[in-house]
Amino acid sequence: MTATDLDAAAPAVDEAGLLAGFEATIARSDRIEPRDWMPDHYRKTLIRQVAQHAHSEIIGMQPEGAWITRAPSLRRKAILLAKVQDEAGHGLYLYSACETLGVSRQELTEMLIEVKQKYSSIFNYPTLSYADVGTIGWLVDGAAICNQVPLCRTSYGPYGRAMIRVCKEESFHQRQGYELLSTMMRGTDEQRAMVQESVDRFWWPALMMFGPPDDESPNTEQSMAWGIKRNTNDDLRQRFVDMSVPQAEALGVTFPDPELRWNAERGHHDFGQPDWDEFMQVVKGNGPCNTQRIAHRRKAHEDGGWVREAATAFADKQAAARRQEASA
Ligand SMILES: [Fe+2]
Ligand SMILES: [Fe+2]
């Protein structure tokens, strides 16, 4: 058989037709499912985004997890434990969604601990007081909600469905943070000062969570055309600021931004820009806690090696027993 014969024997792949079908699905705002044909670049973009999201949930357990043993009461400890455990669950849904794109959990974990994939810059900042647990719930989970609610309608089915459940839990996280801070604000002067100090530290990093400004965000346009992203970084950042200002007023705290004011003409708050150089440094691995976060994750993965080996050995044993039963 010649190469030409082989070509003739293979079923013709109608790339143009497949692409047209994919684009029609996106145009109808229908979901793309794992077995559907999709452009390679769409698959790669999604793997990058969903993996980054899954890694953020898992690394995000660390800053707050550090306070579980130091919670000021049994009630606070129970709330924090449940919250951190939810984040582990979010990581698992998202890793599963990512696996449907043809990449394994093992590969994803390796890419995280070998620093080949990123996670949210916010988790590279330290938690210095218990008020940070409240501030993270209020502002960091609040920013995550702004980012994630539109993702419930993202074009890739498994990602969108994971987001629906994640968002319900994130809303609990935000409320528990706000409730903790409002309790502290009704406490002593020291407690109020602790809340304000924490908000001052987390405000700008929370604004950075939406990513760089639109004109410096290389992936936004394509991601929006594919229905992966539904809003731009700057739109979401504005939405977050508008949502947070009245909450801060109700709480009795201020944000460390002298440019923050209501603009009646725009119907939105004007606000200053975060330090984007600092953001780039944190993204590049030079934030206050990058090394510590990855080292901790790597150690946890290595420490869990025996569990994975035992589970694999048990599964092999069961499969061998089933084979023997079938052949008997
Ligand atoms: Fe989460
Ligand atoms: Fe959360």
Residue-wise pLDDT for 137-176, tens only, equals: 999 999 999 999 999 999 999 999 999 999 999 999 999 9
Neighbours of 47 (CB within 10 A): 19
What single letter denotes the amino acid at residue 60?
Answer: G
| Dist. CA 46–CA 54, nearest whole Å | 12
* CB 113, CB 291: distance < 8 Å: no
On the question of pLDDT at 198 being above 80, the answer is yes
Q: Which helix (H) or strand (E) holds 56?
A: helix 40-59
What single letter denotes the amino acid at residue 32?
Answer: I
The whole-number pLDDT of residue 222 equals 85
* Cα Rg, the chain, nearest whole Å: 23
Ion ligand 2: residues, CB < 5 A: 141, 170, 173
Question: 110 is written with which tokens?
Answer: 């390796």
On the question of pLDDT at 11 being above 70, the answer is no
CA 144 – ligand 1 centroid, Å: 8
CA 265 – ligand 1 centroid, Å: 35
Looking at all shown ligands, the one closest to residue 137's CA atom is 2
Model confidence at 262, in pLDDT bands (50, 70, 90)?
A: very high
Q: What angle do CA 35, 38, 41 make, to 5 degrees?
A: 135
Average pLDDT over residues 176-200: 98
Structure pTM?
0.91
Looking at all shown ligands, the one closest to residue 56's CA atom is 1
pLDDT in tens, 79-136: 999 999 999 999 999 999 999 999 999 999 999 999 999 999 999 999 999 999 999 9
The whole-number pLDDT of residue 5 equals 55
The whole-number pLDDT of residue 6 equals 54
CA 272 – ligand 2 centroid, Å: 26
Looking at all shown ligands, the one closest to residue 166's CA atom is 1
Looking at all shown ligands, the one closest to residue 140's CA atom is 2
